[in-house]
Amino acid sequence: MSAQILDGRTVAKEIQAELAAEAAALKEKYGITPTIAVVRAGEDPASVSYANTIKKTFESQGFGFRLHVLPETAPQEEMIKLVKELSADPGVHGIILQEPFPKGWDEARIKESLDPAKDVDGVHPVNAGRLAQVAPVGRPPGVLDYFVPATPLGGLELLKRYGITISGKRAVVVGRSNIVGKPMAMLLLREDATVTICHSRTPDLGAVCREADILCVAVGRAKLITADMVKPGAVVVDFGVNFVDGKMVGDVDFEAVKEVASAITPVPGGTGPMTNAMLLKNVLEAAKRQQNL
Ligand code: NDP
C-alpha cells in the first residue's frame, strides 16, 4: 500500500494563516511589524533564490523583510559590523545569515556577532547549546528562550500535525550539519525518541536506516535512500534538495520508498514549505520576546 503523503505545502499554509493573524494583531495593538533581515555576501544562486522565497512569504503574510547584500570581496569585518548594527536595530526582530560565506571568512566569529535573541535560524552557539541542553518534553522545562533552525523545526512540526508518535520510537537521522541533521536529532531526542545520527563515515548505512521507525534524511544526494534501506511501515522525512535534469528531488527515492513507508514527505512540497512557515514563527516569537510579550 502506498504511504500517506505528509503534505508540507498544505500544513505550511495553515500555519502561515495562523501566524499572519497573530502578526496583524501585534501590529494593531502595539504598532510592531515582525521583521526579518536577510544578510549575505555575494550572489550564490541558491541563496538568492531562498532570499526571494523568504521575501515573498514574509510580505504576503504582513511581515517585514529587509535584504542586505555585501560584495563577495567585502572584508569579513564589514559583515560583522553589519550584523552588529542589525542586532542593535529595534526595527529588525530576526536575522538570517546566508551561507556559503566567502572563502577565508571565520564562520564562528560571524555567527557569534549575532544577538542570540535575533538569531531566528538558531546558528548562534548559545541557541545551539540551549537546544542541546533543553529538558525532554514533559519534564520541568529548561531554558525556553532559544531558537531552533527553521528546517528541522518544520520537519518536527509536520510529524506532530499528522499525529505521528515520536516518543519511544527508533529515529535515525542521516546528516549531521548544524543547520539540519544535528538539530533534528536533538529535537527528536527531546521528544523521547531513541536517536542515531549517521554521516559520510557511517558503515552500512542501509542497515542502520532499516532500524528506523522514523527516518530523517538531510544529505544532499539524490536517491541516496533506496527502498531496501527502509523498514516497512517507517515514517520518512526527506530534507534533501537536489536538481536532476532540472527537476527538484530529495535524498530519498520517493517513488520506490513510498511503497514501503507508512508516511513520507514529498520533494517538493514537504519540508521546504515548512521551513518558511517556521521562519515566520521564529520571527514572530522574536518580536514578541523583544517586547516582553
Ligand atoms: P551539509 O552538506 O552541511 O551536510 C550533509 C551531511 O550529509 C553531512 O553531515 C555529511 O556527512 C552527510 N553525508 C554526505 N554524504 C553522505 C553519505 N553518502 N552517507 C551518509 N551521510 C552523508 O548539508 P545540509 O545539512 O545543509 O543540507 C542537507 C540537504 O538538505 C541539502 O540537500 C540541502 O539542500 C537541504 N536543505 C533543505 C532545506 C529545506 O528547507 N528542506 C533547508 C536546508 C537544507 P559528514 O558530516 O561526514 O560530511
- Give me the domains of the chain, ranges plus CATH numbers: 30-121 (3.40.50.10860), 150-271 (3.40.50.720)
Residue 143 predicted with pLDDT over 90: no
Q: What pLDDT score was predicted for residue 138?
A: 85
- Ligand 1 pocket mutation, candidates 200, 265, 271, criterion most atoms within 8 A of CB: 200
| Ligand 1 atom with least separation from CA of 180 | 25
Mean pLDDT for 250-274 is 98
- Binned at pLDDT 50, 70 and 90, residue 72 comes out as very high
Q: What pLDDT score was predicted for residue 127?
A: 97
| Ligand 1 atom with least separation from CA of 202 | 20
Ligand 1 centroid–CA 197 distance in Å is 12
When mean pLDDT is compared across 14-23, 25-34, 137-146, 179-188, the lowest value belongs to: 137-146
Q: What pLDDT score was predicted for residue 10?
A: 98
Q: What pLDDT score was predicted for residue 57?
A: 96
Ligand 1: does its nearest atom lie under 6 Å from the Cβ of 218?
yes
Ligand 1: does its nearest atom lie under 6 Å from the Cβ of 125?
no
Q: What pLDDT score was predicted for residue 139?
A: 86
Ligand 1 centroid–CA 174 distance in Å is 8
Give the angle subtended at the CA of 217 by the CAs of 211 and 218, to the nearest 5°: 150
Ligand 1 centroid–CA 91 distance in Å is 34
Q: In this structure, what are the phi and psi dihedrals at residue 203, rounded to the nearest 5 degrees?
A: -75, 150
What is the residue with the minimal CA distance to atom 34 of ligand 1? 241
- Binned at pLDDT 50, 70 and 90, residue 140 comes out as confident
Residue 224 predicted with pLDDT over 90: yes
Ligand 1: does its nearest atom lie under 6 Å from the Cβ of 265?
no
- Binned at pLDDT 50, 70 and 90, residue 135 comes out as confident
Strands 242-244 and 247-249: antiparallel
Ligand 1: does its nearest atom lie under 6 Å from the Cβ of 54?
no
Distance CA 100, CA 215 (A): 27
Q: What pLDDT score was predicted for residue 144?
A: 73
Q: What pLDDT score was predicted for residue 114?
A: 98
Which three cell numbers, joined as nine digits, stand for 291? 517586547
Residues with Cβ < 8 Å from 106, sequence gap 6 or more? 76
Mean pLDDT for 163-170 is 98
To the nearest whole percent, how much of the chain has pLDDT over 70?
100
- Binned at pLDDT 50, 70 and 90, residue 289 comes out as very high
Q: What pLDDT score was predicted for residue 251?
A: 98
Ligand 1: does its nearest atom lie under 6 Å from the Cβ of 205?
yes
Residue 142 predicted with pLDDT over 90: no
CB 31 within 8 A of CB 2: no
Q: What is the mean pLDDT of the chain?
A: 96
Which pTM value belongs to this model? 0.97
- Residue of 278, 267, 277 whose CA lies nearest to 149: 278
Ligand 1: does its nearest atom lie under 6 Å from the Cβ of 165?
no
- Binned at pLDDT 50, 70 and 90, residue 262 comes out as very high
Q: What pLDDT score was predicted for residue 141?
A: 76
Mean pLDDT for 110-119 is 98
